[in-house]
Amino acid sequence: MIRVVNLHKSFRSQKVLNGVNLEFETGKITTIVGTSGCGKTVLLRHLNALLRPDQGEVLVDGVDIAKVPQKELYEMRNKFGVLFQGAALLDSMTVFDNVAFPMREKTKRTETEIKKKVEDRLEQVGLGSMGDKFPAELSGGMKKRAGLARALIMDPQIVLFDEPTTGLDPVLATSIHQLIVRTHTTFGFTGVLVSHTIPQVFDISDYVAMLANGVIVELSPPKNFCASQNPIVQQFIQGKTEGPIQVL
């Protein structure tokens, strides 16, 4: 569904992506791992053209999303749902209105139709009774769940997860991982995660891709990833400070 070809991105003199090549298989969950600051979120933001590459292609269903006109880009972004790192809920809106926001902005559905769908999504993420709450009244885990409900409200084909368990304790992190698996089973979306939570995230991934030195150095199923003889992969898995990865 998504193919990244020779992707380059720099910010001023800092080279972040240096020729990334990566394919995301339709209907599977692929997790991108790597050290802090290696460019994982930068790569993720290229997938739905929140960032434009300096060079290379990001093909979504065969179309280079970085080169389509703005009107077509808006339409292509309807394929995507995004769970941002901090959930990115609007503080002035209730949970219900946060989840309903994309439908009200992008569709002509009636309020009755919107109400039913929002209530269904909140129920599916375990927030069935929380629609009238405001974000400030939610725990960190609840905010992530509300963010996921909003990401799923438009029935996206692709869902991007940017550090979905950041700031959560291990128990809550596990619950969010289980929720991702459950919603993936229900909706069948193509999932792309950026995560530091290893090895736990391996349990929910079909593939693991490691980004280092601006390129993908490994892409394989979790079992093969853990057994990789690549010294960069092993240094990362074992958390060693000495090795081919430069620790900043």
Q: Which residue has the tokens 């009636």?
A: 110
Residue 102 lies in a domain: no
Show the domain range for 63. Answer: 1-79+159-165+190-248
Residue 143 lies in a domain: no
What pLDDT does residue 37 have? Answer: 86
Residue 26 lies in a domain: yes
Residues 185 and 204: their CA atoms lie apart, in Å, by: 11
- Are 122 and 152 in contact by the 8 Å Cβ rule? The answer is no
What pLDDT does residue 247 have? Answer: 63
Summarize pLDDT for 161-196 with one digit per residue, the tens: 999 888 888 888 899 999 999 999 999 999 999 987
Residue type for position 102: P
Summarize pLDDT for 74-101 with one digit per residue, the tens: 888 889 999 988 778 999 999 999 999 9
For the question of whether the overall pTM of this predicted structure is more than 0.85, the answer is: yes
Residue 218 lies in a domain: yes
Q: Render 76-87 in DSSP notation, one character per residue.
A: HHTTEEEE-TT-
What pLDDT does residue 54 have? Answer: 94
HSE of 103, CA atoms in CB hemisphere, 13 A: 24
Spatial CB neighbours of 45, under 8 Å, sequence gap ≥ 6: 51
What pLDDT does residue 125 have? Answer: 92
Residue 96 lies in a domain: no
Summarize pLDDT for 106-128 with one digit per residue, the tens: 888 999 999 999 999 999 999 99
Residues 111 and 100: their CA atoms lie apart, in Å, by: 9
What pLDDT does residue 168 have? Answer: 83
Residue 36: band (very low, low, confident or very high) from pLDDT cuts 50, 70, 90: confident
Spatial CB neighbours of 196, under 8 Å, sequence gap ≥ 6: 33, 36, 163, 166
**CATH number of the domain residue 11 falls in:** 3.40.50.300
Residue 63 lies in a domain: yes
Q: How many structural domains does the chain have?
A: 1
Sign of CA dihedral 136, 163, 39, 17: negative
Residue 205 lies in a domain: yes
The set of long-range contacts for 226-232, using a CB threshold of 8 Å and a minimum separation of 24, is 226/199, 226/202
Q: Is the pLDDT of residue 245 over 80?
A: no
Residue 118 lies in a domain: no
The percentage of residues in the chain with a pLDDT greater than 70, rounded to a whole number, is: 99
